[in-house]
Amino acid sequence: MGAKQAKEHHLVPKFWLRAFAEDGHLRQRLRDGREYCTPVKSAAKSPNFNTDPLARGEPRVALETYLADRVDDQAARAMRLIRRGVWPLSADDHDHLVRALGWQLVRTSMFRSWNAQVGARLTPVVYGHQMVVAIQERLGRHLTEDEGVALFWEAYRRAPEPKVFSDPQQHLRAPLQGLAYALDYLTSSGRQLVLLEAARPTLVLGDTGVIIRRTSGTYSIRPPLLPAASEMFAPISPTHLLISTRTPQRYQDGVLTSALAQQANKGAASWCQAAVYRLPSMRWPRYLRLDPQPRRIPAPRIAPARPSTGQDEGPAYRPVLTDPALLRLWQQFGGTPISND
């Protein structure tokens, strides 16, 4: 795949979108209420989404090339087998499928929007903390609690806009960090993939591909924060739903009921950034509504607290990327190797 071929980057792979298409077209409904048929090649894509702005030549599209060659090609085979009635998959095909599902949590506009919102929320917090540290170093003493709190809030209110600290490659490093957590979530002990099938088309596909559903029945909009008891829903065709779960016995009959399809479809509508897709011949579910705007992450509650002493606290756990190709991408994007050290 050359640089000229990789300007239009699909956020949901084309092989996945084709399963929801007829005669090469999907029925698309946008958040603004418009609805029309669109070709697969024009659906769920963004120009230069994975392009490295600091690279030249082939390295500019290194991430997109990796996704095409090392993720999508293998996952396409696995999903074709499922749609032909092959289940369970071989160990290799299963691993390729799980890897693709992990990537689908971090390769979308929703993940990028989430990451940008977190950055905007955290910038004044980090700035306030750094100002407290800097003043203490300048004075050569620790501030009192009252002094520290007053200085923090003053710095918090005067913090520069996040764009002042912008990093042109951060949006490319973030998916690699998120992928490590996504794969750790999907491969954790006791978690299994189950396949449910319906007799007729009943599922829609959001422009995120997958959905995280909490045990409360709500849909998390924080992709990197993956509660162990939550489930991933992945509609891979209008009649096939994959669920990553720690309670596979709930789905042992393999039947995609109308109630489960409704849950998956509501999740797709909740998670989508811009559009939801369906077969042109399939009716739009009457219960399904798209809000005019994607959900936003609520502002955090910030309150002063005494710093932790660190006693009885083990080191924070961070899953590790081990794929040499991904580690090379990480370094190209200005990162240092991720480890638990």
For residue 2, pLDDT beyond 50: no
Positive/negative CA dihedral, 200, 202, 208, 211: negative
Q: CB–CB of 201/234 below 8 Å? A: no
pLDDT in the model for residue 308: 52
For residue 282, report the phi and psi dihedrals to the nearest 5 degrees: -90, 135
pLDDT in the model for residue 246: 96
Q: Name the pLDDT band for 1 (thresholds 50, 70, 90).
A: very low
For residue 310, pLDDT beyond 60: no
pLDDT in the model for residue 223: 52
- Stretch 25-36: mean pLDDT: 94
Question: What are the b/e assignments for 165-192, b being 16+ CB within 10 Å?
Answer: eeeeeebbbbbbbbbbbbbebbeeeebe
pLDDT in the model for residue 218: 80
In whole angstroms, give the CA distance from residue 205 to residue 27: 10
Average pLDDT of the residues of the chain: 89
Q: CB–CB of 71/103 below 8 Å? A: yes
pLDDT in the model for residue 220: 67
Instruction: Report pLDDT digits (tens) over 126-171.
Output: 888 889 999 999 999 999 988 988 999 898 888 888 765 678 899 9
302 versus 66: which is more confidently predicted? 66
Q: Is 33 left (phi over 0), alpha (psi -120 to 50) or beta?
A: left
Highest mean pLDDT pick, 215-219, 226-230, 306-310: 226-230
Q: CB–CB of 238/19 below 8 Å? A: yes
For residue 119, pLDDT beyond 90: no
pLDDT in the model for residue 306: 56
Cβ-Cβ contacts under 8 Å for 20 (sequence gap 6 or more): 26, 204, 205, 237, 238, 277, 278, 279
pLDDT in the model for residue 312: 55
In whole angstroms, give the CA distance from residue 223 to residue 263: 18
For residue 338, pLDDT beyond 80: no
* 22, β-bridge pairs: 25
Q: Name the pLDDT band for 313 (thresholds 50, 70, 90).
A: low
* pTM, two decimal places: 0.88
